[in-house]
Structure 1
């Protein structure tokens, strides 16, 4: 587990660079294009690259190894950011376009490979604990990246911000090269969860329909989340015109605290029921985000943001752990499909939410978008209940209850130097 924690640390460094770059690249895009439309076009291009990369990420990981995919993604993104740091204000528009395509596709390839490899690194029993560590690392990196963006850009310029991001990718890639985590199964195993004949409908290459329902809800949740990401700066300007950045910092800091607490609760004995836990968590998250936009005082706002963060962290851990319970062959394709659904949902939501804010209040927009997510969650709950009733009528006693807190011991972890199936151990 010690080696996996080192990998998590390198992942946190990379995530910090990404969130620092998210702000820096947006501002830099405006400087290069000169229009607000240009910023949107650059962001759309980045998201589109991620959407396109999703369906093929799993197949590439199966062919060249997940660790190789992660190292390649880090190397490509580090090179792209180094080019941007060197070119600076002289960056041609076509170079900026190429860079954001590399960033969008690289992030998807890395994410799919990492999430698919976690069960191999730490074992199936330790996957939820490992996912919690990754969620915690990303949450802290989000806050630090957003908080440090302004001073880094102010004192060092965009070149420094891009160089820091490039260095963060180098740290991540170097950790994978040195630690050599095992990321491939010894052999193609079947799903770790038993599948009863007639238990539920099979679809998409034999994957249970309820699992595909999880992926669909995840995409809907991403669409809903785009609304509060777009609306929050607007609310910050209205609520605290003198210092909107401070308003947003408080919000995201409280959100990050909530995600960390979710991991701590699950680690200390929480249990999850797969689809139901994810659906209920999605409802709680949506309600909390809507509440945060009702004009609450500062303390109540931070409580609502923390509650949203807790539900966000909970659903992330439950969702990822559930998809990781599938067989090694299906896992990569599922996470590729998930990446496509999430980024497509967020991209579509960003465009629609921005247009809706021209005529509707932030609260109305956030409530409408998250209302769609709640409806999707309720539909998944009904489908899950129907599947449970069907299992009872067939006399099967299978249950989805599983401990979500088990941390792998050093003996259980499989993140050593073995290559598993003989290919380069990859992400």
Structure 2
């Protein structure tokens, strides 16, 4: 792994820290501006919906401009949105807050799709799993630090300080991309930037018909020729996001019940243990060799293990066992993300952006639906039951995908 990529990972970690710090600050700020819990929920829904729309168009965008350009401009746009909130923190109107939330939701999705699609070009196919592991590790550490520092930052400098830190973090990421100029696209795509035709059109030596050009914006075109098991992975990723929404909503409730005097400390310990697990997953996976390490079976098994670990964490375990469950959940979480990302990066470059856009859309949709459903369920049911039911769906999905992998391999053996 070259030094330039490690610097980019560091800049990504700084940006991630600002994001997770802002996740808490913006939620509290939204409540202050709107004055209702409904306003907070509406802002979250707007952010998820913006990410959903961005996922639908991310693949088409990658055919017109380079991924590096997408990442730089999304960083700049998000940094500008945060700067506006810094300047208007004391008198922010609801409409301006809504615009900022939409920019953050769409920008995060565009940046993530571009980055994940660009990794094989930046480091090579052979090193992509290690690169994904570094990115997952950086994001996990940024998550813990962002959540842990939110209270002191807001307490010391107010919401403006949190927004300013987030704005600076975006600018650090954009500056690293500008200075280091990493190669993020195949040469054909880099030559195509700035032209009117997308790269896949130019490669065929002529303009497409209006009908075919219109279809270029449709997400299903990116799935042509993609193995059905890969599409199954993307579907399971969306189901996993739906399941994950349940423990994200239920954990604060459990923290207040288990540690009424120190709920924030309870959550910090949980997520710190989870982060340790994701780092361990990176250390294990970077030593595995062969494409079998990144296949659909490894992803399905990891999803099942992650869901079972999160369910165990809500069973009222003693402190040491809870930490163990959190580490196990983090390990499986890091495992599935690295495997999922590495598998999608193995497809041809032309399809990669559309597949990652489809994956982002599935994740945003799953998390949005799960958030609404889990919130409603927690009004009448205990947290362990809700988390168990939601993650039970993910386990069932993982088992179905696992059965399909065995079926495909059996059919392949019989055809020989």
TM-score, structure 1 normalization: 0.88
- Paired residues for 1:22-421 under 5 Å: 22-187=23-188, 204-269=223-288, 272-395=293-416
Q: Post-superposition shift, 1:270?
A: 6.0
Question: Separation in 2 of the partners of 1:126 and 1:141?
Answer: 23
Question: Separation in 2 of the partners of 1:148 and 1:124?
Answer: 36
Question: Secondary structure of 2:331's partner?
Answer: helix
User: CA deviation digits over 1:101-139, x for unaligned, max 9?
Assistant: 000000000000000000000000000000000000000
Taking structure 1 as reference, are residues 67 and 203 closer, same or farther at Cα in structure 2, changes over 3 Å only? closer
Question: Secondary structure of 2:410's partner?
Answer: helix
Asked if structure 2 preserves the Cα contact closer than 8 Å seen for 1:78 and 1:165, the reply is yes
Question: Secondary structure of 1:329's partner?
Answer: helix
User: CA deviation digits over 1:128-161, x for unaligned, max 9?
Assistant: 0000000000000000000000000000000000
Q: RMSD across aligned C-alpha pairs, in angstroms?
A: 1.4
Question: Secondary structure of 1:88's partner?
Answer: coil
Asked if structure 2 preserves the Cα contact closer than 8 Å seen for 1:32 and 1:89, the reply is no
Asked if structure 2 preserves the Cα contact closer than 8 Å seen for 1:203 and 1:209, the reply is no
Q: Post-superposition shift, 1:17?
A: 0.2
Asked if structure 2 preserves the Cα contact closer than 8 Å seen for 1:214 and 1:275, the reply is yes
Question: Separation in 1 of the partners of 2:238 and 2:78?
Answer: 25
Asked if structure 1 preserves the Cα contact closer than 8 Å seen for 2:82 and 2:163, the reply is yes
Matched with 1:402 is: none
Question: Separation in 2 of the partners of 1:210 and 1:203?
Answer: 15
Asked if structure 1 preserves the Cα contact closer than 8 Å seen for 2:222 and 2:351, the reply is no
User: CA deviation digits over 1:78-109, x for unaligned, max 9?
Assistant: 00000001100200000000000000000000
Q: Post-superposition shift, 1:187?
A: 4.6
Matched with 2:193 is: none
Q: Post-superposition shift, 1:204?
A: 2.9
Question: Secondary structure of 1:294's partner?
Answer: coil
Q: Post-superposition shift, 1:390?
A: 1.5
Ranges in structure 2 where 5+ consecutive residues have no aligned partner: 190-198, 201-220
Asked if structure 1 preserves the Cα contact closer than 8 Å seen for 2:121 and 2:184, the reply is yes
TM-score, structure 2 normalization: 0.91
Higher relative contact order, structure no. (Cα contacts within 8 Å, ≥ 6 residues apart): 1
